[in-house]
Structure 1
Amino acid sequence: MAAAANAAAEVVGSGDGALLAGRDHVVVFPFMAKGHTIPLLHFAAALAAHHGGQLRVTLVTTPANLPFVRRRLPESSSSSVRVVSIPFPAHPELPAGVESTDALPSHSLFPAFLRATALLREPFAAFLASLPSPPLVLVSDFFLGFTQRVAEDAGVRRLTFNGMSAFSLALCFTLASRRPHVDVEDGAAVHVPGFPENVRITVDEVPDAVIQGGNPDDPVTQFLDDEVRIWEHRSAGVLVNSFAALDGDYAAILEALYPPGVRAWLVGPLFLATGESPEDDDDDPEGCLPWLDERAGRPGSVVYVSFGTQVHLPAAQLDELTHGLVESGHSFLWAFGRSDATWSPPVDAGTAGGKIVRGWVPQRRVLSHPAVGAFVTHAGWNSVLESLAAGQPMLAWPVMAEQGANAKHVADIIGAGVRVDRGRGPGAGVGRAQVAKKVRQLMDGGEESRAIRASAEEAGRAARSAVAENGTSRVALRRMIDELRSSYVDGERRASSKTATPKNGDRGGR
């Protein structure tokens, strides 16, 4: 393997950014969850769009995920991004054919799913070894920690992708390493070390992974400790689906939590970086767009509701949400997602001015529709970015993962939304009165509503500017590729000057 790597490192050209023979290939390996896969599909498409002729892009997936990947890969890049599948390993706790988190019959199987993905190490190593020469870089999800070892063995740098903002990622790492006291009883806000003085958090805003990290018996924590964290901090950089105007203040905080020289590359929003418009997605099996068209005569009159594909809300909470939407007095379109499939609405949504759908929804097109005026969201980062890009204010209703931190980012830092108060203790939830009040707060056009909407629209303009020619994200993408290329050149020059080959993990002087 070392001989092959050395042979592939012949310099063509000179100076920073010189292209190495064989180092013209980027391999992208997403985690098998829709919210993790889609951004890296967009990343692959953005590379193909902006580095066409200079880079080849291969996206790795597994057989059962292949149809989704091919369907969701932007059409303009479908011929320029190679998609390959490697076999998903059998696991005794998983049903046959389950290869993505949304296909799990129960969330309790998620730890088993994680352990199954770790068994992908051997087939992925075989794939990488089958390439005629080592790629320029491997971009892989943080859950796939084994890819760092495979990349090091192949003499390839790896960038890790977490699917989070720089703000939330820096918050997670800082709290996990320092664990400042958060007063659970009275909800007091505490300052986060290393963050600006005005950034203070409560226990509701602490990401789940940090809270669970204090429990050594938690199976996800065990997996992260054994398979992810040590390898995460050996990566050459972090790919962040965000942009400087939104997240730039936190990039340096994030970089300081990694070894010296690791960069956080803010290259998003990746769905905008592809150059595709929302209209390129024509898949609307539930008829959401015609329904919205019927309401286009009243701009901004519809509330869009979605909690993504992974969030589960109890039936009683779904009932309260429905009543609250009806009592707000505004029409609503609710993409029901994966919540309890047996639940039935307590009122007829159609007669109440609403529409509830259970299938695929073209969310970017919905958010950009003139009839839509606000978004009730779980505050997953992909949804936050899509809402901001469309200039839509949010009612952030965090449920899991880092969504509480995202909600804080949206409401308190960007100023583009408001948050629900979920309460504390057994049976805590969000009542219908609060739902109705918060929806009206965003939709009724008062001074506060106008200020929130203005902040959302400003963020949307900044997002589009970031991916334009010479925008911050477009420039970051180019610099990332150039620095990766030059790091191999510099590493080979140092090796030549010492007449010795560096060890696999040490290329580029890390």
Structure 2
Amino acid sequence: MLHNGIGRTRHSEDKTSILQHKAQEHPAMAASANAAANVTAGNGEPEARRDHVIVFPFMAKGHTLPLLHFATALSVHHKSLRVTMVTTPANLAFARGSLPESVHLVELPFPSLPPLPAGVESTDALPCMSLYPTFLRATALLREPFAEFMASLPSPPLVLVSDFFLGFTHGVASDAGVRRVVFHGMSCFSMAICKSLVVSPPAAVEHVGGGGAPFHVSRMPEHVTITPEEIPPTVANFSDPDNPIARFMIENVESTDVRSWGVLVNSFAAVDGDYVASFESFYQPGARAWMVGPLFLAAGDTPERDEENDPEGCLPWLDERAAWPGSVVYVSFGTQAHVADEQLDELARGLVQSGRPFLWAVRSNTWSPPVDVGPDQGRIVRGWVPQRGVLAHEAVGGFVSHCGWNSVMESLAAGKPVLAWPMMAEQALNAKHVVDVIGAGIKVNYAVGSGAVVGRAEVEEKVRRVMDAGREEGRRMRRQAAWAQQAARSAVSDGGTSRVALQKLLGDLLESC
């Protein structure tokens, strides 16, 4: 239930007297009072208008950030819309700091579900990933307060945009007579492959991580083949009744996902358009995948250069190397991947042996490099890194990345080639997309979930290859990365494919209402 002041918005605007009175009677109504515009009919009563967009992200930074950018893009380019972001207490400050004041925030209480520690409301705050299944179950308990919030609104919103992990939101939206658009945080390429493997699992699924010949994925274009080691672990384990994540997906996600009115995709047509039809084929008739990305470009989000956004001083350090454009390799594996100390040791040695200066974001607070890293050799940072600003910096020439889709979008938008090192989830498919389809990178010899260690010799060799702009391989990667950069910018500009897709999405929603 919404009580004790939770469920209020953190942004004030004019309210009708009716909503003010109800907000005093019930805290949930405070959310509606702030989220509803002061629109009245001729008789002075509130007039129902379908101009309100509700956005509900999953509590993981990689899932939340794109929807923060989506909410911002709506607020910037479609000022007639009212946009409300649903969040929880521990995520409120992060959301507020990333949104314009015109986007309203509604705060729902995060459920208590032992052994999940109190106050842990985002996957990056989990003390260990063994609690991830418990975290997923806790998010499903948000159904009741979310339903109460939706029921408190004075009129149905235009649409609910919610993460696919939040499957309960589909039923709540349906009960309220509201269309639901689902968000995955993945490309059409990866999503279509995952859907196909779940619906029609090939025999190769049984040999995940053990090598094997490439095979064609059903419903995908004929040129798309993958190997067993590229199958995401969750997909490979989907039929395992003892796998808690697979059980959660089956019980809470899959059936609601495919019944969504449409899918919001943080991608753009030039790199992902060939796979839209394959992906849409898994949804109900008429459902569309709307490619509106890269969403951070659509939002016009330019990282600010200040100490608060760059506490480690990454950009000033890069400024000192600006005289040597493209000389620095940036290394980051995101906020969730766990990298064993043995692998960190080999990576450190390989980076030093490559002879290339490096900026490396390390998430471990206990690991120490086994070799001396001088100030001219590299910089290891432990805190927040302004990644888009780093990738855009002229001193950076390549990106050693886990290939989370957000990082892929950021590297392509910056025009930087990638040394793909997938760690989890669908990242091996994203790596294939970047390396084999777009041609903007190369890949380490590593199978997700294998537990293998990539040795220093391979690290040294692959870093040198991705950073060498003088050889034909390096020139080819940079040509493709530059092409993707131009295509990304064009997509979100006036008349671009992503800008038009967003306008068409809103127009179709208004027409369907």
TM-score by length of 1: 0.89
Mapped pair 1:130 → 2:152: yes
The answer (yes or no) to whether the contact 2:229–2:448 under 8 Å persists in 1 is no
Give the alignment of 1:259-338 within 5 angstroms. 259-279=284-304, 283-337=309-363
Letter in 2 for 1:293: D
Deviations 1:170-212 (A, max 9, x none): 1100111111232655421001112122211001211222112
* AA aligned opposite 1:48: S
The offset of 1:92, in angstroms, is 1.7
CA contact (8 A) 2:211 2:227 kept: no
- Aligned-partner SS, 2:180: strand
1:91-490 pair list within 5 angstroms: 91-182=113-204, 185-279=210-304, 283-337=309-363, 340-351=364-375, 353-422=377-446, 428-445=452-469, 446-488=471-513
| Whole-angstrom CA distance in 1 between matches of 2:303 and 2:414 | 10
Equivalent of 2:71, from 44, 47, 68?
Answer: 44
> For residues 407 and 309 of structure 1, do their structure 2 counterparts lie closer, same or farther at Cα, with a shift above 3 Å needed?
same
1:28 corresponds to which of 51, 55, 63 = 55
Query: Which consecutive unaligned segments of at least 5 residues does structure 2 have?
Result: 1-35, 41-46
Task: Measure how far apart 1:127 and its partner are.
Answer: 0.8
- State how far apart, in whole Å, the 2-side matches of 1:122 and 1:230 are: 19
Among 56, 71, 75, the alignment partner of 2:82 is 56
Count of aligned pairs between the two proteins: 464
**Partner Cα separation in structure 1 for residue 409 and residue 451 of structure 2:** 31
Shift of 1:112: 0.3
8 A contact 2:230–2:447 mirrored in 1? no
1:254: how far off?
Answer: 0.6
User: Helix, strand or coil for the counterpart of 2:63?
Assistant: helix
Deviations 1:301-356 (A, max 9, x none): 0000000000001100010111111111100000113xx33111112223561101
What secondary structure sits across from 2:74 in the alignment? helix
TM-score between the two structures when normalised by the length of structure 2: 0.88
- The separation in 1 between residues aligned to 2:102 and 2:98, in whole angstroms, is 14
- Mapped to 1, the partners of 2:233 and 2:486 lie a distance apart of 31
Contact 1:24/1:56 (CA < 8 Å) preserved in 2? yes
CA distance in 1, matches of 2:61, 2:327: 30
Q: What secondary structure sits across from 1:278 in the alignment?
A: coil
Question: Residues 461 and 107 of structure 1: is their aligned pair in 2 closer, same or farther, counting only changes over 3 Å?
Answer: same
Kept in 2, the 8 Å contact 1:423–1:430? The answer is no
Deviation at 1:427, TM superposition (A): 5.2
Letter in 2 for 1:451: R
Aligned-pair identity in percent equals 64
RMSD of equivalent CA atoms: 1.7
Letter in 2 for 1:286: E
Looking at structure 2, the residues matched to 276 and 341 of structure 1 have their Cα atoms a distance apart, in angstroms, of 30
Asked if 1:84 is matched to 2:110, the reply is no
Alpha-carbon spacing, 1:50–1:424, altered in 2? closer, same or farther (3 Å): closer
SS at match of 1:59: strand
- Partner deviation per Cα, 1:252-280 (whole Å, 9 max, x = no partner): 11111111010000000000001222347
Q: 1:427 to 1:60 in 2, by over 3 A?
A: closer
Q: Is the 8 A contact 2:238 2:246 kept in 1?
A: yes
Contact 1:140 1:147 in 2 (8 A): yes
Give the letter for the 2:95 counterpart: V
Instruction: Measure, in 2, the Cα distance between the counterparts of 1:118 and 1:125.
Output: 12
Quote the Cα distance in structure 2 between the aligned partners of 1:136 and 1:313: 43
Inter-partner Cα distance in structure 2 for 1:425 and 1:462: 33
Q: What is the alpha-carbon distance in structure 2 between the residues aligned to residue 121 and residue 163 of structure 1?
A: 21
In structure 1, the partner of 2:22 is none
Q: Give 1:449 shift.
A: 0.4
Change (3 A) 1:378 1:247: same
Following superposition, the deviation at residue 233 of structure 1 comes to 1.3
Q: Is it true that 1:72 corresponds to 2:94 in the alignment? A: no
How many Å apart are 1:455 and its aligned residue? 0.2
Cα distance in 2 for partners of 1:364, 1:209 equals 29
What's the secondary structure of 1:91's corresponding residue?
Answer: coil
Tell me whether 181-190 or 364-373 shows the greater mean CA deviation: 181-190
Separation in 2, partners of 1:131, 1:143: 24
Gaps of 5+ in 1: 1-7, 13-19, 489-510
Q: Check whether the contact 1:387–1:394 (CA below 8 A) recurs between aligned residues.
A: yes
Q: Which amino acid aligns with 2:142?
A: L
Q: Which has the higher contact order (CA 8 A, sep 6+)?
A: 1
Aligned residue identity for 1:57: V
Structure 2 distance, partners of 1:345, 1:277, is 33
Indicate how the Cα distance of structure 1 residues 109 and 466 shifts in structure 2: closer, same or farther if over 3 A, else same.
same
Q: What per-residue deviation string (whole Å, max 9, x for no partner) do you get for residues 376-402 of structure 1?
A: 000000000000000000000001000
Paired AA for residue 150 in structure 2? L
Encode CA deviations 1:126-147: one digit per residue, 9 max, x unaligned: 1111111110000000000000
Partner of 2:43: none
Could you tell me how far apart the structure 1 residues matched to 2:272 and 2:194 are? 15
Structure 2 contact 260–284 (Cα < 8 Å) conserved = no
- AA matched with 1:197: E
- For the residues of structure 2 that align with 1:94 and 1:447, how far apart are their CA atoms? 51
Which has the larger displacement, 464-473 or 197-206?
A: 197-206
Alpha-carbon distance in 1 for matches of 2:63, 2:103: 18
- Cα distance in 1 between the residues matched to 2:74 and 2:413: 20
